[in-house]
Amino acid sequence: MSDSKVKDAVREKYAQIAVTASSCCGPSCGCGTDSGVAGTITMNNLYSGLDEKTRQAADLGLGCGTPAAFAGIKPGMTVLDLGSGAGIDVFVAAREVGPTGRVIGIDMTREMVARAEVNKRKLGVANAEFRLGEIEHLPVENDSVDRVISNCVINLVPDKRRAFAEIFRVLKAGGTFTVSDIVSHGQLPESIRGDLSEWAGCVAGAVEKDEYLGIIREAGLRDVEVASEKQYPLDPAYSFGLSSVTVRGTK
């Protein structure tokens, strides 16, 4: 399966969510709503502690973790959110960096960027911006950000080595990344790898946990560690398992 077909399928699904979904804060939209393996994954509301206005505007129930909570974000920092969607993690980070900092959200789906811009205006967030772009080709300068965060998105990227190479490129020396993502335990069968609905459902693009961590280290990032992990219950008939992990490391 070509990378372009995977990207088209993912883009089509998330464009539809951006246009049609109200904030659902759960499994009725986003990853885990397709039939097959993806249909067994439930993404819970991960932002119940946020003020209701922000949560209702920007939480589409698409995440699998809360990377900003583990990122050590401080006032004045520049933070980059990969696959920013409707903007929920951008707005969480914007609160932490304060008026002297800024947050940049990147998404490859025009409809999501447009929705995030609407939410930004609605919430009156002045220290955030959204850019259209792909994680493998970030529209961000070298050595320009203090923190990179991402929430259940890199599993959707076919070329994960390129994605983490880009994370390394844009981070300042001493900067850190924190990503929440789906990984596998055991190899996924080709019947799932070749299913576009399972790609868009955050399953087919998952790689084994040790391989995932190895890809990060190959990019030059150091002090790589798993900050949290949650295993999803799957039918025993499946020959593999799936977990959401939050991983962090340093340039």
Contact 30, 67 (CB under 8 A): no
Question: Which of the two residues, 142 and 30, has the higher pLDDT score?
Answer: 142
Residue 238 has pLDDT above 90, yes or no: no
Residue 214 has pLDDT above 80, yes or no: yes
Q: Given pLDDT bands bounded at 50, 70 and 90, which one contains residue 62?
A: low
Residues with Cβ within 8 Å of 216's Cβ and at least 6 positions away in sequence, in order, are 164, 224, 247, 249
Domain that holds residue 81: 3-250
Residue 48 has pLDDT above 80, yes or no: no
* CATH, residue 196: 3.40.50.150
Across-strand partners of 137?
134
Residue 56 has pLDDT above 90, yes or no: no
pLDDT in tens, 162-206: 999 999 999 999 999 999 999 999 989 899 888 888 887 888 899
pLDDT in tens, 77-86: 999 999 999 8
Question: d(Cα 172, Cα 2) in Å, to the nearest integer?
Answer: 33
pLDDT in tens, 109-128: 999 999 999 999 999 999 99
Residues with Cβ within 8 Å of 16's Cβ and at least 6 positions away in sequence, in order, are none
Residue 210: the pLDDT is 96
- The strand ranges marked E within the chain are 78-82, 102-107, 128-132, 145-151, 171-185, 222-232, 241-250
3-state secondary structure at position 9: helix
Residues with Cβ within 8 Å of 106's Cβ and at least 6 positions away in sequence, in order, are 80, 81, 82, 83, 84, 130, 131, 132, 133, 135, 138, 139, 140
Task: Provide the number of structural domains found in the chain.
Answer: 1
Q: Given pLDDT bands bounded at 50, 70 and 90, which one contains residue 108?
A: very high
